[in-house]
Amino acid sequence: MSFWSGQRVVVTGGNGFLGRYVVSRLAERGCATIVAPRSSEYDLRDSAEITRLLTEHAPTLLIHLAAICGGIEANRLRPGTFFYDNAIMGIQLIEQARRARVAKTVVLGTVCAYPKFAPVPFHEADIWNGYPEETNAPYGLAKKMLLVQLQAYRQQYGFNGIYLLPVNLYGPGDNFDLTTSHVIPGMIRKMMEAKAEKRPSITLWGTGSASREFLYVEDCAEGILLATEKYPDAEPVNLGSGREITIRNLAELLRNITGYEGEIQWDSTKPDGQPKRKLDTSRALETFGFRAQTPLEEGLRRTVEWFSLQQGT
């Protein structure tokens, strides 16, 4: 509590899915000032707008969560946007934070930065050992450049910036738009709508053989704040749950939770994405004591219940 009592924190993306949980936890910790700027107020692609943001609010801490992101289809449709917007926002924000002498800057990366065939579980040391999976490489590379920038600025300027690598997030308040959503909200929506309409089957992308690790959004928010408080170093840190599940098994789990009784068909003409994803989370545990608390089944149940309430079902 004493760490946060005098802090002025700017959280970019603070009105987004993850950002709302981070802002809520900051308030619970007694943070003195919390600023969650909207894109309509400050365009983070514009250096002058970033300067105005940092001048007006004079943060002691900057937590950069803002991102243009989505699932495989969104990455396929907008690779240029995903690269440019994420790179330019982060690069300019870090530079202006350096100039404004912000005491600490926390940047959220992405598991998409890892090589397509990184050894499982992914260890932070493997991040440069290959090219990312093609469907989300522009996004992953844009975010990975921010790690390079933070480390270069630390070396040259003594800039205090840290870089966190969360695995796929999910939870209440996620994006359920079928064009831009990630896998869990997309599956939930398809199953809930098919159940309501009594459809005999749904079709999911890929073969179902790829595996993923998922982190409940509230756990991720806690990990970010623990790192902000306690982690001082240049090396990136994974944030994950430590549990890997195939997409096919995830679908069966969600079918049981949603109560959908129809058939699940797989469209193998659509990409699976990265073959496997599971993080080595030992560095987060050892350096700032982070361990995910929410079992996958419980987190999925809460997410389904939230979506059901939003739909009035």
Kindly list the catalytic residues: 139
Q: Tokens at residue 122, please?
A: 């992914």
- Other C-beta atoms lying within 10 Å of the C-beta of residue 281: 24
Q: ω into residue 37 within 30 of 0, thus cis? A: no
In the sheet with 244-246, reading across from the earlier edge strand, the strands are 168-170, 211-216, 244-246
Phi, psi of 204, deg, nearest 5: -115, 155
Q: How far apart are CA 68 and CA 112, in angstroms?
A: 13
CA distances from 170 to 29, 40, 115, 137 (A): 23, 25, 22, 21
Checking DSSP bridges between strand 161-166 and strand 168-170, what pairing results, if any?
Answer: unpaired
* CA-based R_g, the chain, Å: 19
Distance of CA 101 to the CA centre of its chain: 26
